[in-house]
Amino acid sequence: QTNALTLTPDGHPDKQSWLYNLSISLQKRFDRVGDAADLAEAIRCSTRSVELLPENHPHRAMMLRLLGGLFDTRLRSPHAHADDATHAMRAFLEAMKHPISHPLDRLRTSLQYASLLTKSSHLFITPPPLTVLEAYDHALSLIPQIIWLGNNVRSRYTSGALGIVKKGVSEATTAAITRREYDRAVEWL
């Protein structure tokens, strides 16, 4: 993948996809081996893939979610940088609010954003633009776009979305109960 990218000019229409795929491969190798250089290169490739992608591309949220996830991974590793939480938050925020991207990508990103805030809120100097409960509220507002009655029952169950929605509702409800927002927890359930 690295050799193919070296031979590919920036104007090539598939370069951002190849950078995205290389980022995933490097992340998987980091997960197995733990080499910080792999994670740093994955972040570099993922950043470049987002830069090459047009603002109005429907895969933008998916690529931003990967980038945010890479920063989040490094944040939780011994190789963390001081600004990883901020970079992850920015990537997640842009992805979850990207109107052209698939709602499932935006829902997944909203859940990752909420998780980042839950686990790393102490790392932010200024309060993040959205609170944990606002992120969950955003995620759950996307459910009708993902599992809507216009889909047949089989597609609702086979898309994998139902499991993600179930997990999201559970996490959101737990967060609301933890913050003593009982009415909101009941509403979300």
State the pLDDT at residue 146: 80
Among candidates 87, 130, 86, which has minimal Cα distance to 111?
A: 130
The 10s digit of each residue's pLDDT in 16-56 is 999 999 999 999 999 999 999 999 999 999 999 999 999 99
- The answer to whether the pTM exceeds 0.75 is yes
List the end-to-end C-alpha distance of the chain, in Å, as a whole number: 44
| 4 within 8 A of 12, measured Cβ to Cβ | no
| 65 within 8 A of 108, measured Cβ to Cβ | yes
Low-confidence ranges of the chain (pLDDT < 50): none
What is the percent of the chain with per-residue pLDDT over 90, rounded to a whole number?
Answer: 68
- Could you tell me how many residues make up the chain? 189
State the pLDDT at residue 151: 67
The DSSP code for 122 is G
Neighbours of 66 (CB within 10 A): 22
| Cα(66)–Cα(123) distance, integer angstroms | 21
